[in-house]
Amino acid sequence: MKYLGIDARRPKIAVFDFTGCQGCELQLANKEETLEAFLNCVDVTCFREISSASGEGFTIAIVDGAISREDEVRRIRRIRDQAQVLVALGSCACFGGVNRLKNSFDLDRANREVYGDQPKPTLPVRAINEVVAVDMEIPGCPVSKAEVERIVQHLVWELPYRFPAYPVCLECKQHGTVCVFEMGELCLGPITRAGCDAPCPDAGQGCWGCRGPAQDPNFEEFLAAAVGKGHREEAIAERLKLFGGFRGISCVRR
């Protein structure tokens, strides 16, 4: 059995970066205790941030960052043409990420504010799937390397990978973390897709929803509960917007 239509044995992988902080790429080189094993599972042919080798040919293109300039549109299309499988890595690639906040402002004015009378070319930010077809999306700001490893393991074992459908709350329960939402923090955990291992609530802060919505989130009920706890709709809206994953969900209660 092939998964996503590719031969799973030591697949050739290339990593490309677009608009973003490149932190998700960096996660691929982190988690040192299993780094060697990880690198043995895949054949990295192109990874500009850590290698000058431009090995020709790759089956899987891993793409980090959003699209925000004309040359990036051309580059992602070329990568799509060459890749059998295109993976969007991280919330910038999946949703546009924090970069998308820019789209709420007048871009010409923003450009003049930063660059004065020498504005630079820029476009409204788009996620990768708004420009080319994407085969798999791994959300997170940053992605969890443990989840990336699980996905690669499934690839090598030729098993389909399923992202958790449940929300972050379940992972807090697994850890025995005291509910920060109950303690009065604004937390998007009840409606956000799990898989990150809930690091923010573990640290006593609410979830910021960087992974986007869980399957069938009970948004109305969440909003009522959050407002009931005294959180302002304005604050909830700001949080929902921060990573771009909850687009289309309105914070105004009907």
In the complex, which residues of this chain contact another protein (CB under 8 A)? Answer: 17-27, 29-30, 32-33, 35-36, 39, 44, 47-53, 68-69, 72, 97-99, 101-102, 105, 110-111, 113-116, 118, 120, 122, 141-142, 199-200, 202-205, 208, 235, 238-239, 242
Q: Which is nearer to another protein, 135 or 197 (CB)?
A: 197
Q: Which is nearer to another protein, 114 or 165 (CB)?
A: 114
- End-to-end distance of the chain based on CA atoms, in angstroms? 48
Distance CA 50, CA 29 (A): 9
Q: Which is nearer to another protein, 17 or 137 (CB)?
A: 17
What is the smallest separation between the CB atom of 128 and another protein, expressed in angstroms? 14
For 246, the token pair is: 């909850």
What is the smallest separation between the CB atom of 213 and another protein, expressed in angstroms? 19
Residue 42: closest CA among 24, 61, 22: 61
What is the smallest separation between the CB atom of 23 and another protein, expressed in angstroms? 2
- Beta-bridge mates of residue 136: 87
Q: Are 198 and 171 in contact (CB under 8 A)?
A: yes
Q: Are 209 and 246 in contact (CB under 8 A)?
A: yes
Q: Is the dihedral of CA 94, 88, 81, 56 positive or negative?
A: positive
What is the smallest separation between the CB atom of 218 and another protein, expressed in angstroms? 24
Indicate the angle between helix axes 219-228 and 233-241, nearest 10 degrees: 130
For 143, the token pair is: 């992605």
Where does residue 185 fall: left (phi above 0), alpha (psi -120 to 50 degrees), or beta otherwise? Answer: beta
Angle, vertex CA 91, rays to CA 160 and CA 185, nearest 5:
110
What is the smallest separation between the CB atom of 156 and another protein, expressed in angstroms? 18
Angle, vertex CA 234, rays to CA 198 and CA 129, nearest 5:
60
What is the smallest separation between the CB atom of 151 and another protein, expressed in angstroms? 18
What is the smallest separation between the CB atom of 225 and another protein, expressed in angstroms? 19
Q: Which is nearer to another protein, 206 or 217 (CB)?
A: 206
Q: Which is nearer to another protein, 24 or 138 (CB)?
A: 24
